[in-house]
Structure 1
Amino acid sequence: MSAQYFGPAPWEGPAKHYGPVASVAVLSDVHANVPALRAVLAEPEVAAADLVVFNGDLTWGVDPDQTVRIVQGLGLRAVCVRGNSERFVRHIATGAYTPANPRQQWVPARHGTGALAFVGSFPFSVVVDVKGLGEVRFCHGSPRSDNEAVTPSTSEERFRELTAGITEQVLVTGHTHLQFDRRVAGIRSVNPGSVGLPYHGGDPGVAYWALLGPDVRLRHTRYDVRESVAAIEAAGDPGRLRIADLLLRPPAPEEIIAEAEQMVLVD
């Protein structure tokens, strides 16, 4: 898709509000990596959280149907936000967008009818009243587009522009697969990192997430990345070589930040 803004759909209206709650576990960019997802959900702090917010890109990976079943198993504790991956799946499945490569055709076809309906129902953003933090805005890219990259180096000027339409003092985004917590332009900007495909400087086999309430705590969980790589290869993912390489040899955050800040809109 061309570089353009993809904000809330005209029919959505104001973001739905939740809370107040004492704790929220934030899991972003799972990318249908089931072993990583299961490992994070097994964490005691996640199991005890009042809500588990999936901050976009739950899908666009090898096992979307199983991922959806796991999330639906959390019942009302699970709150999902639409990412650019969910937008791609919906547009491709409905014929609004023609796949540009084999993987863009392959991934949506991995979704059963129920999974397609589920990921197609996600709202653009939600707001949760978290004790100790107040109202927190969750969106995948930015409050104005699901594909806008917010990084630890986003300038104060652009940050003011992208947050101009919100009143919350804490903004949680995903999309860049980078974990960070910073204050800029009077707002706390948080990214929990990626559960299923993180960009980081450490060893492979680590899923990143965050716990909110009464403060922001950045977390990570180890899992068997070999199981994820084996699943990708067994499924015949057309992008298996690239995805496996990203899992086993994650790119340096500095490279991702430089590229994202240059492009701004990244699909």
Structure 2
Amino acid sequence: MPDREDPDRPAVPRGRIAVLTVVALAVVLVCSGLGVWQWQRGNVVITEPPARQPVAPISEIVDAGGSGAASILSADEVGHRVEVAGTFDPAVDLLVPGRSLDGVVGAWALGVVVLPDGSGVPLVRGWVPEGSPAPALPTGRVDLVGVVQPPEASDVAPSTAVLPAGQTWIVSAADLVNRVDYPVANAYVTDTAPAAGLQAVPPADPGQASRRLDWRNLAYAAQWWVFALFAVVVWFRAVRDERRETGEDDLETAADGPAHGAGGRDMSGAR
């Protein structure tokens, strides 16, 4: 026969436990969401890649006449768009052979723009197919926008053979300072809008976003997740205490007792 309800059995506060569960779930969801948000903010702090930052005068990125850090192009500055204003040095009109563009071998047209402070900036004016002459250097003042690149090392050269006059294997201040009598920036710029007869040379490195860890935000994220875990622990203990106060745990234990001996006989008096 089914068990009859015990009129002396205390009522289990199901409504209170349900409320505790809903509140705990809301706290866990909110704390977890805030933790993820803080993690996304603190895991990496991303600055705009140099290629998407505002155009800056070349003198703000690399100073040919300076010394120390001002004269060296940093990793975060590679790929920065710069403005170059000055005049081309007519004595530096070079081709850099062995340079491919879209699978076609050709050469870069290289010049040096003399800035108002008297220093020079190597400028890759564009690309021409092999055997084709480059357009003449512009005369008068030029004002153009390009992408700054680090100087090339000697191992970039496809050959060590001696080149004829008017050609060079690499774009480097170390080579150009032997051709001029003024300081040359330890970097070069690729013109993004070359003159007619030249094709734009895509920069080797357009610039990457800089990243770093923000430990304070990461600590906040961990703190929110600890709060979420604490809410689970508080909920578990509150539910356990409620069940103990109503005697539900004792009743369930007592109800489970006979089940272990169901169908058996009391053999304590058997002989």
Larger radius of gyration: 2
Q: Which band: TM-score by shorter chain?
A: under 0.3
* TM-score normalized with structure 2 length: 0.18
Per chain length, whose mean CA-contact separation is higher, i.e. which structure has more relative contact order (CA < 8 Å, sep 6+)? Answer: 2
